[in-house]
Amino acid sequence: MKSKTLTSAVRVLSVFSLVAGTCALAEDFRPEHLSGLINDYSPASVKGGPWEMHGQWRMDFHRERRNGESADFAADMTMSGYGKTAEGAVDATQFGQNPHTHHIRLTNRTVTRDMTGCPAFLPPATITGFQINGTVSLVTGNGSNAPFETTTPPISTLQVCVTGGTEVTESNVTLVFGGPASTHFGMQAIHGVVRKLSAESIGDR
């Protein structure tokens, strides 16, 4: 009787162990999701600049066993400019000129767990971070192809760096465009902040 009871208990524990192990494995490879805000200005030297830039961004991580870690990035932005004085200088009282929107996507890019080549921040310095780089999969202007992207697919590039310090592991985000998109956004870093970390994916939003 004791032998039968012991055998049953071992079987039950084995099932629980298998289920727990499967759940843990699923958790290990469950995509993580970062999201936050973008708030910055373009240089005055770009066409129509300076532009105010405001938006939301999000990033999904995919941790496959064989292919390493990759991520998808998406940003949705509004931009508007300023009027000019009679002398041709930027007039800060004439804000909200030429408002428009952009949707930006960077898909299935390898995650690099360092900040090599990322924009520097003023003290206190950011000491940890990661980045993704590559050719954008989408960049729009008011819901259509962006006027600066004259080829299909687009050829503009984007570097996204997420950096932080010792107290908040990931706190800042920067976007740096290359190629045709830099004529509109500028070649400087566009700054934003991390607001949320969750297990929700871009596709579930």
Q: Is this structure's pTM higher than 0.85?
A: no
pLDDT, tens digit, for every residue of 35-80?
A: 999 999 999 999 999 999 999 999 999 876 556 789 999 999 999 9
Rounded to whole angstroms, the Cα distance separating 176 from 103 reads 15
Q: Are 102 and 140 in contact (CB under 8 A)?
A: yes
Domain residue limits, the chain = 1-30, 31-204
Q: What residues pair up with 70 in beta bridges, in sequence order?
A: 62, 110
pLDDT, tens digit, for every residue of 95-123?
A: 999 999 999 999 999 999 888 899 987 77
Rounded to whole angstroms, the Cα distance separating 59 from 24 reads 23
Q: Are 199 and 35 in contact (CB under 8 A)?
A: no
pLDDT at residue 12, rounded to an integer = 38
The label of the residue with tokens 């960077």 reads 106
Kindly report the number of other CB atoms within 10 A of residue 187's CB atom. 14
CA 33 to chain centre: 10
Residues 140, 141, 146, 148, Cα dihedral to 10°: -130
If you ran DSSP here, which 8-state letter would residue 165 be given? Answer: -
User: Residue 27 is which amino acid?
Assistant: E
